[in-house]
Amino acid sequence: MNFEKTTEKESHYNHLEKMTIKEIITNINNEDQTVPKAVEKALPQIETLIKVIVEKLQSGGRLFYIGAGTSGRLGILDASECPPTFGVPHDLVIGIIAGGDAAIRKAVENAEDSTNQGWKDLEQYKISKKDVVVGIAASGTTPYVVHTLKRCNIENIVTGCITCNKNSPLSLTSQYPIEVIVGPEFLTGSSRMKAGTAQKLVLNMITTTVMIQLGHVKGNRMVDMQLSNNKLVDRGIKMIMEELNIPLATAESLLKQYKSVRLSIENGRKQQNR
């Protein structure tokens, strides 16, 4: 199969340093508007991977994201937001980045070039056949990610990926590839831009859909969210008020008693039906 790094191709724009601020941001915005259309073309691939993830998590498995640089950070971001948003354990969705946690804030030299460190990183979590590993790499060539998925395949662990190049080594290694072809970046080779945006959109789809399928959403509400600050407590109270059609004080009382929006609604409804 032919493989061309479209993410590394020359930008459609030149002499960026001669553009006005308005010209720069207008052109970036024009390019950004192409990303959702690219994601739309990948929806069948996204759906297929999500179905597999749901099955694995329903059977007691976990979802791992593994990547380097921007891709690794995006995976960690998505994983870290699942517990507060959906009330799930911190070890259900796990993000791993080449170079370890230090690489979240600061680039770690040569970390993405390792061909065996990714598997070592997964082994720390006692990775097993029950789990799913999704490699994230805009280029689809990052050794840390590609070789980790190769080892996962050998160990009969389900593999998926999110990449922005067609027929990349990562796509060909992954059992369930997602390819979002966004084309050249406004700033040549800066895949934190359109490619990063595309990856974030796909990650949003994956975990939101998975959590809905696992029952962590009621109607359109985050009924299992962690009540970790005043804003979320207020949101929880409003959910209870609207769901049960009760006054503020009653909703506050229920939430204070049950410490959970879901449990407050369930028990409040039982009280109404007595």
Residues belonging to the chain: 274
* Annotation marks residue 185 as catalytic: no
Q: Which residues contact 261 (CB under 8 A, 6 or more apart)?
A: 221, 222, 223, 224, 225, 227, 236, 239, 240, 255
Secondary structure, 3-state, the chain = CCCCCHHHCCCCCCCHHHCCHHHHHHHHHHHHCCHHHHHHHCHHHHHHHHHHHHHHHHCCCCEEEEECHHHHHHHHHHHHHHHHHHCCCCCCEEEEECCCCHHHHCCCCCHHHCCCHHHHHHHCCCCCCCCEEEEECCCCCCHHHHHHHHHHHHCCCEEEEEECCCCCHHHHHCCEEEECCCCCCCCCCCCCCHHHHHHHHHHHHHHHHHHHHCCCCECCECCCCCCCCHHHHHHHHHHHHHHHCCCHHHHHHHHHHHCCHHHHHHHHHHHHCC
- Catalytic residue from among 17, 55, 112, 266: 112
Cα→Cα distances 201→122, 129, 204, 264, Å: 25, 27, 5, 32
* Annotation marks residue 81 as catalytic: yes
- Catalytic residue from among 17, 40, 47, 81: 81
The residues annotated with a catalytic role in the active site are 81, 112
